[in-house]
Chains A and B, each alone.
Chain A
């Protein structure tokens, strides 16, 4: 035996002791975490803070009006949004509405200091930027577990129960709009559950704009119980509903009766330059074509 029993026991004991010591330390920290009730003013405050540190915006480039998806050529729906930049003044009402609709957690002071807000809509140069629901989404391609998937409706969905948190999608998103859930918001008392329809995401998953998927699902189910084909009537997203200027439009790019489809006529359709190759479903309207 080259290593004596005594040395072994000594080193092993030191290892165990160190472990226990630091284990206790951690326990102490956990019990100290403050639990405070979150209210709407808190959310408003954090949105204001986030608006102060806006990330820079890529340049806008013109793209054609979105048409049917390459992956689902026979689908009748492709939901999307348009943000009218001629009307939008960057007030941030959409961010608040999104937060309340989707139970988006607040972040703690440390994360806030690093500008790590969880908001699904960000304002960059006063322009709302959210997930563009790319038809050829780079994030979905690299998700190893299949948690990021495209629905035939054109929504780039996240199946949170399937997300293992490899964050490859976040890495591969050209505009880094995907948000990683660094803290357990429920545990730290940072969660305000205002909408029971939307499940609260657990710590360690990537979250992002779902195009108010729950509203789409509910409306579809309602239409189905009546036996009607669902083309996205009577649905709108929370941000579109809340916009005081009516600058955000939700609709179906493939339905000629959809308001979005009609309004796109003659308008200049733009998107961010880094998103342009990926066939976005959410676009900007600016000027006339």
Chain B
């Protein structure tokens, strides 16, 4: 996957993030919208990525977790809590995915996991949400996405 397509994936993941939690819906409708977003990411990966590369196996999941992370910035209630959860999901996907890939001889990127772990701890210190801090966190996540 080239850096350009990686950046494109980042933009694609940012797209649904802003209106994910806007209108009140039922649990079933939330589930379906999540599923469709995930499906979009999978289709994107399938058509742009090299499916022989094992790293692609969890690429759409990483996109989804990234999207969920960013979407928590729009929340008003319990933002820190959901931020932690979303980053936890991202960490989970990367950690266990890499663990299984390590058995196939794929290199493990420890740095992204460490950054995500510190992100989970870090957001505990930002209880209020001024715009600057939200932007900072967003840049932190985009940085993790783009660089690692």
On A, residues with C-beta under 8 Å from B are 138, 141, 277
Contact = CB atoms under 8 A, between A and B. Distances in A.
A277 B105 contact: yes
Contacts of A277: 105
Nearest to B105: A277
Interface of B: 103, 105
B103 A141 contact: yes
Nearest to A142: B103
A183 B105 CA distance: 36
A277 B103 CA distance: 12
Contacts of A138: 103
Contacts of B105: 277
Contacts of A141: 103
Nearest to B104: A277
A260 to B, nearest CB: 27
A143 to B, nearest CB: 13
A106 B67 CA distance: 59
Contacts of B103: 138, 141
Q: Tell me the interface secondary structure of chain B in the complex.
A: loop
A273 to B, nearest CB: 15
A196 to B, nearest CB: 40
3 contacts: A138-B103, A141-B103, A277-B105
Q: Which 3 A-B pairs have the closest CB atoms?
A: A141-B103, A277-B105, A138-B103
A140 to B, nearest CB: 12
A141 B105 CA distance: 12
A67 B63 CA distance: 42
B106 to A, nearest CB: 12
A138 B105 CA distance: 11
A147 to B, nearest CB: 19
B46 to A, nearest CB: 25
A277 B105 CA distance: 10
A138 B103 CA distance: 8
A259 B4 CA distance: 55
A138 B102 CA distance: 12
A168 B103 CA distance: 14
Nearest to A138: B103
A141 B103 CA distance: 9
B105 to A, nearest CB: 7
A277 B104 CA distance: 10
Nearest to A277: B105
A141 B99 CA distance: 13
Nearest to B103: A141
A47 to B, nearest CB: 36
A259 B133 CA distance: 71
A69 to B, nearest CB: 16
B103 to A, nearest CB: 7
B104 to A, nearest CB: 9
A58 B103 CA distance: 22
A284 B33 CA distance: 55
A86 to B, nearest CB: 32
Nearest to A278: B105
A138 B104 CA distance: 9
Nearest to A136: B105
B100 to A, nearest CB: 12
